Amino acid sequence: MIRVFYGEDRVAAQKMVARQLGEGYEAIEAENITTDDMPSLFLGVSLFAETRAILIKDLSGNKECWELLPKYVAECPHNVVIWESKLDKRSTTYKELSKDKNVEFKEFRLAEDPDKKVVFDIFDAAFRSDGKMAVKLCEKIETTNDPFMFLGLMVSQAVKKLQFNNPKAPRALKILARADMDMKSTALEPWTIIKMALLKIGGIK
């Protein structure tokens, strides 16, 4: 599998690079490679292992090598992340790669502060026992919002309901507290944890 990371949120991208490649990966600046290096880079094995973990930075900036990439995708046995500062989706190479099942693109956008009304609508849907609707609404905003701030605002909504003695509120707060711990201690995507919490809140009787 070859993964292509791009987008303005460099911090989030760096974290995902570490998660995907682990420790001790090879880091390569694409400006330093030539077309002659491509076979050994994508198909060659090391002395210590057949499968390598490789990070390649800004391959699309090396036009000749970038255009050759599609021919190596299917046979590449390695765990490769290509990290792009900018990605031209109009290019022929991008269009070819985007159709290949062996290539995964992931954009890292800078998160925005969640809209409080949107958070209220999503949390309220879950609280009305419509967890599926809450998740559906959540999926529309997760690429542009910060999950940790979103969770914090949901906790505020649950606390308000607790103040009005809503019988569901204590269990909702417990679910959100668990979600907060999981977001800080597990490898699951934060938005996946939030959606799981919304489904659990939706199931409260």
Per-residue HEC secondary structure of 170-201 comes to HHHHHHHHHHHHHHHHCCCCHHHHHHHHHHHH
With a CB cutoff of 8 Å and minimum separation 6, the contacts of 31 are: 58, 61, 62
Coil, strand, or helix at residue 148?
A: helix
For each successive 10 residues of the chain (205 residues), what is the average pLDDT?
92 91 93 96 82 95 96 94 94 95 90 79 94 94 88 93 92 95 89 96 91
Per-residue tokens: 8: 């303005």
CA nearest to 195, candidates 143, 122, 128: 122
pLDDT, tens digit (0-9, with 9 covering 90-100), for 63-85: 999 999 999 999 999 999 999 99
Residue of 110, 122, 100 lying closest to 172 (CA atoms) = 122
Specify the DSSP element, H or E, that contains 97.
helix 92-98
pLDDT of residue 192: 95
Q: How much is the pLDDT for 134?
A: 96
Token pair of 120 as six digits? 């209220």
Q: How far apart are CA 73 and CA 92, in angstroms?
A: 15
Residue 205 burial by Cβ neighbours in a 10 Å radius (0-12, 13-18, 19+): exposed
Query: pLDDT at position 113, please?
Result: 67
Q: How many CA within 13 A on the CB side of residue 204?
A: 23
Q: At what angle do helices 147-163 and 169-185 cross, to 10 degrees?
A: 160
Q: Which amino acid is at 38?
A: M
Integer-rounded Cα radius of gyration of the chain: 21
